[in-house]
Amino acid sequence: MTKIDFYFDPGCPWCWNTSRWLKEVQKSEAIDITWKPFSLYIKNADAMPKKHLGVMTATYEMLRVIVSAQKKYGNGITDSLYTEFGTLVHHKKDFSSKAIKEAIGRVCPDDVEYLEAARSDETLDQPIKDSMQSAFNIVGEDVGVPIIIFHNKDKKIGYFGPVISVVPIGDEALSLWQGLKNLAQYEHFFELKRTRNEAAIAPKLSRGDNTPNVCSV
């Protein structure tokens, strides 16, 4: 079993693709993923282009909902909520208040009002900031998402990335995973990069991608 932390903002298309790639790898590999909130709005609001503010403000509120749900149900609920919210943003292109509330209802039908109220609860910002700081402590602050942290024995090693425009499937997904996993064994490796020349392409949804588990204590 490989244990990792995955830091995400529901509004980032690159992060969404990386998360769907990890879900693909999980079909064949034993990976224990702890999903951790990271707000690009908190990190970059002052410098963020206006065209991105709408979606990043909405996903900032989605992260509050996720933190609130984690407090009641534990981290296991995060996967389902992120899947629902990511589907809204990257596939349905609808992150309206109505859509967010309906997405919450598909995951936690008995707690819709409670969790929907979390969108405006500023006390939930600190857990998000604490989560972000836990990533910065390992990979530094000149990063966004996705971030993957590997639990290597008694030490955590992580990276910003991988940044992928198209989600690989099958053997291709496993090959990419094995390469990243191998790099994570060497603590003195820091960076690989090339110029990005294409946009992120949201993967096709499979039958099970939009049917998250109902909340249970």
**Is the CA virtual torsion 133, 139, 140, 143 positive or negative?**
negative
pLDDT tier for residue 90 given thresholds of 50, 70 and 90? very high
Whether residue 13 is predicted with pLDDT greater than 70 in this model: the reply is yes
Say what the pLDDT of residue 195 is. 79
Q: Which residues pair with 155 in a beta bridge?
A: 152
**Whether residue 207 has pLDDT greater than 60:** no
Which pLDDT value is given to residue 196?
Answer: 74
Q: What is the pLDDT of residues 19-34, one digit of tens each?
A: 999 999 999 999 999 9
d(CA 207, CA 119): 28
Q: Which two tokens stand for residue 105?
A: 């209802």
In the numeric block, the tokens 């809204």 are attached to 88
User: Hey, what domains does the chain have and what are their CATH numbers?
Assistant: 2-183 (3.40.30.10)
What is the average pLDDT score of the chain?
Answer: 90
pLDDT at 9 over 80: yes
User: Does the pLDDT value for residue 215 go beyond 80?
Assistant: no
The string of pLDDT tens digits covering residues 162-200 is: 999 999 999 999 999 999 999 888 888 887 777 777 888
- Does residue 213 register a pLDDT over 70? no
Strand pairing partners for 158? Answer: 149
